[in-house]
Structure 1
Amino acid sequence: MTETPRDPWIPREPASLVIGAIAAQVIGGLVPQMSPFVIAGLMAGLSLSERDSGLVVSAEFLTLAATAIAIAPVLPRLSYRRVGLVAAALTLLAQGASTFSASWTSLVLLRSLAGVGEGALYAVSLSIVASHCRNPDRVYGYFQVVWALGSAGLFAVGGEVTAAFAHRGILGLIAGVTLALAPLLFLVPDVRAKTGSGTLVASAQASPMLCVMTLASIVVYVAASAAIYAFSAPLGERAGLDTSAVGYALTVSTLVGLAGAGAATALNVRWGRAIPISGFCIGFMLVVLALCFWRNPAAYVIALGGSVVVYYFSMPYLLGLAAALDRSGRWAAAAGSAYLIGFAAGPLVAGAVIVAAGYAGLAAVCVAFTLAAWGLAMAVNRGVTTSSRCPHSSRAEA
């Protein structure tokens, strides 16, 4: 399948828009990325239990996801820049206050408030790319490149500041990164996703069933990925590595993940979406089986690196599929919420499965989830492709 050009009145991606969107993406997704350190910092600094620390993070995740999906329908009618700046201000206020909070109740309230701002920024980053870029899949690939590069440094610094200053160290780091990136939000265009001749977006709404199937595919696939990621340390210990070695393996794997992000960016939709989606689903199932069944340190390191490569390769295609549903970017914004729900659900599902059926059960569940996600994504891709070929449709496959 070859790439079908997008509508001619949608301009090519200006660098300022891409930089602003990446800044919004990083600020909005920073806490989920650094959540292991947040939990560890809360346990060390405030002597919270695993449950209470997890509840603080879960509250932020829930408000983040709820805000992203709540704002998605109206976001195309609002100014992206104004929404981003207001959300960043709210996020900074809550993050700064929570850094000095000493009680569990105030932390839950403040981190939930931060989640509102982060959710709006996450939605802005996905929606503006879907509505204002000629090739959203490629720009979503840029997102993954930045995450792969940035995460390696953030993991190293995050571990040090958490060890030295507990929760204040990691929350302060998150607030500092947010403050440093906030000025880049001025690069986000002060525009709305309008329709009509001479404007940026031609809105063509896909069927509600395709939209729901897309979100379900993202939730299920990310849940499987997060399940493996959350238990990567125990999996490494089963393979014969200590915790320190697992940490180094994760850092190296993050850098190796650049290969997946780079491949998705370079390939984008030159071969359509069906072949890449099928490829990363097969690849993920293979690494799951290797991680859960093959107790060998070298095999673990290789499989862990493969899982990160597959993850960074896969996300641009799933987000791009959501962007193809609606040119105004509403479903792309909602896809951010679906991602966060899957990310939060993965560890919970994995923990329950491991207790009930061990790591063989985890492998079986992750493979089943991946097959379900593949089936849903293939059905949606077929529907999008059929719609794009309809002569009366203003939508073309991205």
Structure 2
Amino acid sequence: MSSRRPRALEARAALLALVALFTAGYLAPYLLPTIVGRLSAGLGLGAAQAGLVGSILLLGSASAGFTLAAHGERIGPRRAARLGLAAMAVGYGTAAATSAVLPVVAGAVLGGVGSGTATAVAAAGIAGRPDPHRASSLGLLSVSATAGALYLTLPHLGGGHALPFAAIAGTALLVWPVTGRLPGRTPAVRETPAAGPLPHRSAGAVLAGGILLWSMAQNALWGVSGRIGLTQAGLSEVTLGMVFAAALGAGLVGVIAAGALGSRLGRAVPIGAGTALIACCVLLSSAAETPASFATGEILWNAAYPVVLSYLLGLAASLDPRGRWAVLVGSASSLGVACGPVTGSVLSEAAGYPGMGLTLCVLLLLVAGPMTAVARLASGRPLVPGSIRRRGGAPAALLAATTSAPPSLLPQLGAPEQEITEIAVPVPASRRRAVRSAFRLARPAGRG
């Protein structure tokens, strides 16, 4: 009992470290509207130019994720996390300290590489947890709360692009101490060979392509939401910050609901129905001409977005316990996020905000089908010791898959059975005689 408690405390500390790292890595995309808006106002950039800077930042994040997916195991989680946090602190700190366009862009790119590295380490670690959906939900809960607090605070501290960049750099420095809880090297995973091929290649590729377009559509609107609120819906900057904070607060409620719901509905229903709801909210927000309609669309959208994202991240983590699909799908999401600001700026200038919203709505409905199919057809983790009895075999695995058990405890059909080890237990002679006497008394008498 005494040895179990330190192990449980270590596991909890490692989970908190992953959640903190996830928060730091995802903070830049969550603050994208205020970053793009302040770059446009403070540096004199046009809407498309400011969106391009945001896209370059997030493109650096995506490239770091793809690179770490191939070489992360050799570097080790602790060292990679510290390199990522250092790049965030230096890059975003440089962008905050200058008003020249080129140093701001260079600092944003370096900071984006750091954000992508931190996110990739967190995603790989979350994939190795017993319940990746719960871990990813905690990460989204933390980053939503942090971004919401910043949206409430930053408008009262002044304008300019320096504040959001400084906030992200400061978050990276605050997270640095908890990286000591991460392992120095990637622990071996028993269920997967050390150099085995990627499992579920077709499902993973479809999921990665779908989430790329899904994230691009989300962030095409998110990148121009500030301009829609200010120019089309008639909000002030302070009121706009309150709307964004309320929207992220709704996201907190959504993440809590997703964590409580767990796998009761499976993954297909939340992903498919949630994406359809998001498509409708995108249409409402982009066409809003009053503060009430804009706030309604943003709040409903941000309540549904983290719910669907948590199931998508959990699905990616379940495809490979070593976390390779989690990192690749997360990097594809970052690539979609990177394309979002430019896509939103170009579409809004070409077709107006309502036309942009209609285009994004159709795109989301088109990608909902393939991602839902992956959630329905792709099975997750291999057999977990103790999840079913050995004699249950494939029927027991099939029965377990139809229940509301957590995905991490569901065995795969055809998984190798666990070996049974017989243990000899010595029984005293007096106990054997008592058992034989009880058996004779309980045996019914024969006929005749």
Give me the TM-score of the superposition, normalised by structure 2.
Answer: 0.75
Higher relative contact order (CA 8 A, sep 6+): 1
User: 8 Å contact 2:89–2:111 — kept in the other structure?
Assistant: yes
State the alpha-carbon separation in 2 of the partners of residues 308 and 210 from structure 1.
27
Specify which of 91, 96, 99 is matched with residue 88 of structure 2.
91
2:105 is the counterpart of 1:112: no
Going from structure 1 to structure 2, the CA distance change for 1:12 and 1:201 (only over 3 Å counts) comes to farther
Going from structure 1 to structure 2, the CA distance change for 1:17 and 1:250 (only over 3 Å counts) comes to same
Deviations, residues 338-377 of structure 1 (Å, cap 9, x unaligned): 2222222223333333344444433332222222221121
Going from structure 1 to structure 2, the CA distance change for 1:87 and 1:284 (only over 3 Å counts) comes to closer
State the alpha-carbon separation in 2 of the partners of residues 247 and 53 from structure 1.
19
State the alpha-carbon separation in 1 of the partners of residues 121 and 85 from structure 2.
11
Q: 2:356 aligns to what?
A: 362
Q: Post-superposition, which runs of at least 4 consecutive aligned residues in structure 1 deviate over 6 A?
A: 199-204, 386-389
| Aligned pairs for 1:374-389 within 5 A | 374-385=368-379
**Alpha-carbon deviation of 1:209?**
2.3
| Aligned pairs for 1:25-44 within 5 A | 25-43=22-40
The range that moved more, 101-110 or 60-69, is: 101-110
Q: Could you tell me which amino acid in structure 2 is paired with residue 148 of structure 1?
A: S
| Aligned pairs for 1:1-398 within 5 A | 14-43=11-40, 45-50=42-47, 52-131=49-128, 133-163=129-159, 166-196=160-190, 205-236=198-229, 240-244=233-237, 245-293=239-287, 295=289, 297-385=291-379, 390-393=412-415
Going from structure 1 to structure 2, the CA distance change for 1:256 and 1:178 (only over 3 Å counts) comes to same
State the alpha-carbon separation in 2 of the partners of residues 33 and 360 from structure 1.
23
**Alpha-carbon deviation of 1:175?**
1.8
Q: Could you tell me which amino acid in structure 2 is paired with residue 277 of structure 1?
A: I
State the alpha-carbon separation in 1 of the partners of residues 83 and 235 from structure 2.
44
Going from structure 1 to structure 2, the CA distance change for 1:42 and 1:241 (only over 3 Å counts) comes to closer
- What is the root-mean-square deviation of aligned Cα atoms in Å? 3.1
Going from structure 1 to structure 2, the CA distance change for 1:48 and 1:161 (only over 3 Å counts) comes to farther
User: 8 Å contact 2:209–2:332 — kept in the other structure?
Assistant: yes
**Alpha-carbon deviation of 1:202?**
11
Going from structure 1 to structure 2, the CA distance change for 1:129 and 1:203 (only over 3 Å counts) comes to farther
SS at match of 2:322: coil
User: 8 Å contact 2:94–2:103 — kept in the other structure?
Assistant: no
Q: 1:6 aligns to what?
A: none
The range that moved more, 359-368 or 117-126, is: 359-368
State the alpha-carbon separation in 1 of the partners of residues 70 and 216 from structure 2.
24
Q: Could you tell me which amino acid in structure 2 is paired with residue 135 of structure 1?
A: D
User: 8 Å contact 2:318–2:381 — kept in the other structure?
Assistant: no
Q: Could you tell me which amino acid in structure 2 is paired with residue 391 of structure 1?
A: L
**Alpha-carbon deviation of 1:77?**
4.4
**Alpha-carbon deviation of 1:95?**
3.3
**Alpha-carbon deviation of 1:329?**
0.3
**Alpha-carbon deviation of 1:333?**
1.1
User: 8 Å contact 1:202–1:327 — kept in the other structure?
Assistant: no
State the alpha-carbon separation in 1 of the partners of residues 74 and 178 from structure 2.
22
Going from structure 1 to structure 2, the CA distance change for 1:263 and 1:87 (only over 3 Å counts) comes to same
Q: Could you tell me which amino acid in structure 2 is paired with residue 139 of structure 1?
A: A
State the alpha-carbon separation in 2 of the partners of residues 49 and 286 from structure 1.
29
Give 5+ residue unaligned stretches, structure 1. 1-10
State the alpha-carbon separation in 2 of the partners of residues 305 and 344 from structure 1.
23
State the alpha-carbon separation in 2 of the partners of residues 69 and 284 from structure 1.
27
The count of corresponding residues between Structure 1 and Structure 2 is: 381
State the alpha-carbon separation in 1 of the partners of residues 262 and 209 from structure 2.
22
Give 5+ residue unaligned stretches, structure 2. 1-7, 383-397, 399-411, 417-448
User: 8 Å contact 2:211–2:336 — kept in the other structure?
Assistant: yes
Q: Which has the larger radius of gyration?
A: 2
**Alpha-carbon deviation of 1:36?**
3.3
State the alpha-carbon separation in 2 of the partners of residues 51 and 240 from structure 1.
20
Give me the TM-score of the superposition, normalised by structure 1.
Answer: 0.84
**Alpha-carbon deviation of 1:90?**
3.1
Q: Could you tell me which amino acid in structure 2 is paired with residue 153 of structure 1?
A: A
Going from structure 1 to structure 2, the CA distance change for 1:227 and 1:44 (only over 3 Å counts) comes to closer
Q: Could you tell me which amino acid in structure 1 is paired with residue 258 of structure 2?
A: A
